[in-house]
Structure 1
C-alpha cells in the first residue's frame, strides 16, 4: 500500500472514530450508489501485487452485502437505479452492483455470495475477452515485471530502464511505467507492454483464457434471475484516446455483438478505465446516441437527482481491494469522501 492509500485508510478510520460517516449522511449521501467490482476471489499471498486494488475476497463481499441490508438500503438492478433517478419520489437509499470485464471468478466466487443475499447485479462484458482477441494489458504488465529482473524500453518520451529484482523494485517500476504509459497514446502503451511480455515469455491469450469467461458461460449467465449483461466496448480501449469513429464503433458494435450472441437487449454500458482521461463529453454523447439507458464511469461519487439528466455519465464507487474493512465501506456508503473531494459539488459530468 503506497502513501496515498495509507492516507485514505487513515481518513476512513477517522470518519469511523468520529462518527462522521453517520452524521454527514444528511448532506453527503445521495439517492443511491453504483459499486464497481472486478475480481472476487480468495486471497493469494503475493509480495508484488500491483493490481490488488482490483480484487476483493468473497468474505468481504459477503460482509458488505450484509451491512448494506442491515442498514436498510435497497439492493437494486441498474434498470431500477435509472428508474429511481428519474422518479421525483425519493425512496430508500439504493445500491447497485456492477462487475467489469467478465472474469471467471465472478461466477466461481461472487455469484454464490450474491445469490445468498438475493442481490441483483450487472456484468459488463467485453466481447474481445470472450473471443480471446482483446488484451488484459495491465495484467500482462504485472506478469512481465514479475518475471523480469530488469526492464529496458525505448519509449518516445525517452529510455526507461530500472532493476526489478525485488518485490519493492518491481512495485516501484510498475507504478512509474504504468502511469508514464497511461499518459500517452494507447498504441504506444500496447506496443511497449507487448515488448515486455515477449521478453518475459508471457502469452497474452493465455492470460485472457485463464481469467475471462468464454461465450458459453456468458450465455448461461445472461438468462439467470437477477443478472443483467451490459456492454464494455469490443476490445476495452480508453475511448477518449481514439478518434470519434473508433470510439463510436467500439460502443455501437459491442452492443450489437452482445445482442446477437445473447439474443437479449443490452441496455447499459461501462466505459473502460472510465476516468476523465478515458471517457468524457464526446463518449457520453456517443453512448446516448447508441441508445443505452445508462452508461457508467469510474469517476467516484454518489447518485443524486441531478444525475437524471446525465444518465450516460454516472459515477461509481469502487470496492477497493486495498480497503476491505467496515470503516471503509461505511465511509463510502455515507458519501462523505466524495463530498469532501468535490467540495460539495454533486456532478462531475464534463
Structure 2
C-alpha cells in the first residue's frame, strides 16, 4: 500500500473511531449508493500487485453484505435504484451492486456469496472480452513489468526508462508509466503496452481467456434470479479520448451485440474507467441517445434525489481491495468522505 492509501486508511479509522459514520448520515448519506466491484477471489499475497485495488476476497464480500443488511439498508437492482431515486422512500437507504468487465470469478466466487444474501447484482459486460479480441491492457502492463528487469520505451513525449528488478522498483515503474500513459491518447497507451508485452512474452488473448467469461456462461446467466446484464462498450476504450462517431459506435454496438447474443433487453451501461477524462457530458448524451435507462461512472459519490434527472451520469463508490475492513466500509456507506471531497456538492455531472 502506497503513502496515499495509507493516509486514506488512517482517515477511515479516525472517522470510524469518532462515530462519524453515524452522525454524518443526515447530511452526507443521500438516498443510496452504487458500489463498483471488479474481481472477487481468494487472497493471493504478493509484494508486487499494482491492480490489487480491483479485487476483494469472497470473505470480505460476505462481511460487506452482512453489514449492509445489519444496518437496515436495502439491497436493490439498478432498476429498483432508479425507481427509488424517482420515488424516494423516506428513511430507507439503498445499495446496488455492480461488477465491471465480466470476470470468471464473479460467477465462481462472488455469485455464491451474493445468492446467500439474496443480493441482486449487475454485471457490465464488454463483448470484446467475451470474444477474446479486446485487451486487458492494465493486466498486460502488470504482467510485463513483473517479467522484465528494466522498462524502456521511446514515447512521443520522451524516453521512459526505469529499473524493474525488485518489487519496489516494479511498483514504482508501474505507477509512473501507468499515469504517464493515461494522460495521453489511448492509441499510444495500447501500442506502448503491446511493445512491453511482446518483449515479456505475454499473450494478451490468453490473459483475457484466463480472466473473462465466455459467451456460453454469459448466456447461462440470463434469467438467473437477481442477475442483470449491462453493457460496457465493445472493446473497453476510454470514450472521451476518441472522436464522437467512435464513441457512439462503442456504446450503441455493445448494446446491440449483447441483445443479439443473450436475447434480453440491455438497459444499463457502465463507462470504462469512468472518470472525467474517460466520460463526460458528450458520453452522457450518447448513452441516453442509445436508449439506456441508466449509465454509471466511477466519479465517487452517493446518490441523491437530484440524480433522477441525470440517470446517465450516476456516481459509484469502489469497494477498494486495499481497504478491506469494516471501518472503511462503514465510512464508504456513510457518504462522509465523498461529501467532504466534493465540498458538499451533491451532483457531479459536468
Q: TM-score range by the shorter chain?
A: over 0.9
Q: How do 1:1-350 residues align onto structure 2 when only pairs under 5 Å count?
A: 1-90=1-90, 92-350=92-350
SS of the aligned residue for 1:5 comes to helix
What do the CA deviations read for 1:48-96 (whole angstroms, capped 9, x no partner)? 0000000000000000000000000000000000111111553510000
Compute the displacement of 1:276 (Å).
0.2
> Structure 1 CA distance, aligned partners of 2:286 and 2:300?
21
Give the distance between the partners of 1:71 and 1:143, measured in 2 at CA.
Answer: 40
Q: Distance in 2 between matches of 1:254 and 1:2?
A: 36
TM-score (norm 2): 0.99
- Cα-to-partner distance string for 1:203-245 (whole Å, 9 max, x where unaligned): 0000000000000001111221100000000000000000000
Query: How many Å separate the matches in 2 of 1:37 and 1:121?
Result: 10
Q: Do 2:35 and 2:319's aligned partners in 1 also have CA atoms closer than 8 Å?
A: yes
Question: Aligned with 2:316: secondary structure?
Answer: strand
Task: Find the residue that maps to 2:75 and give its secondary structure.
Answer: strand
RMSD across aligned positions (CA): 0.6
The superposition leaves residues 21-70 of structure 1 with CA deviations (integer Å, 9 ceiling, x where unpaired) of 11000100010000000000001121100000000000000000000000
- Distance in 1 between residues matched to 2:291 and 2:76, nearest whole Å: 21
Secondary structure class of the residue paired with 1:207: helix
Contact preservation (8 Å) 2:31, 2:88:
no
- After TM superposition, what 4+ stretches of structure 1 lie above 3 angstroms from structure 2? 88-91
C-alpha distance in structure 2 between counterparts of 1:349 and 1:222, whole Å: 32
SS in 2 for 1:152: strand
What is the TM-score normalised by the length of structure 1?
0.99
Q: In the TM superposition, what whole-angstrom CA distance separates every residue of 1:82-134 from its partner, at most 9, and x where no partner exists?
A: 11111155351000000000000001100000000000000000000000000
CA–CA separation in structure 2 for the residues paired with 1:145 and 1:233: 27
Residues in 2 aligned to 1:45 and 1:93: alpha-carbon distance in whole angstroms: 35
Query: For the residues of structure 2 that align with 1:347 and 1:57, how far apart are their CA atoms?
Result: 31
Distance 1:125 1:258 in 2: 8
Aligned length: 350
What are the Cα deviations for residues 121-169 of structure 1, in whole angstroms up to 9, with x where unaligned?
A: 0000000000000000000000000000001100001000111000000
Distance, in Å, in 1 between the alignment partners of 2:291 and 2:16 is 41
Give, in whole Å, the separation in 2 of the partners of 1:263 and 1:142: 36
Q: Is the 8 A contact 2:28 2:334 kept in 1?
A: yes
Segments of structure 1 that go 5 or more residues without pairing to the other structure are: none
Three-state SS of the structure 2 residue aligned to 1:122 is strand
> CA–CA distance in 2 between the matches of 1:253 and 1:91?
40
Aligned equivalents of 1:110 and 1:254: distance in 2?
A: 24
Unpaired runs of 5+ in structure 2? Answer: none
Give the conservation status (yes or no) of the 8 Å contact 2:275–2:298: yes
**Equivalent pair of 2:145/2:174 in contact (CA under 8 Å):** yes
2:125–2:230 contact (8 Å) kept in structure 1:
yes
Deviations 1:309-345 (A, max 9, x none): 1100000000000000000000000000001001110
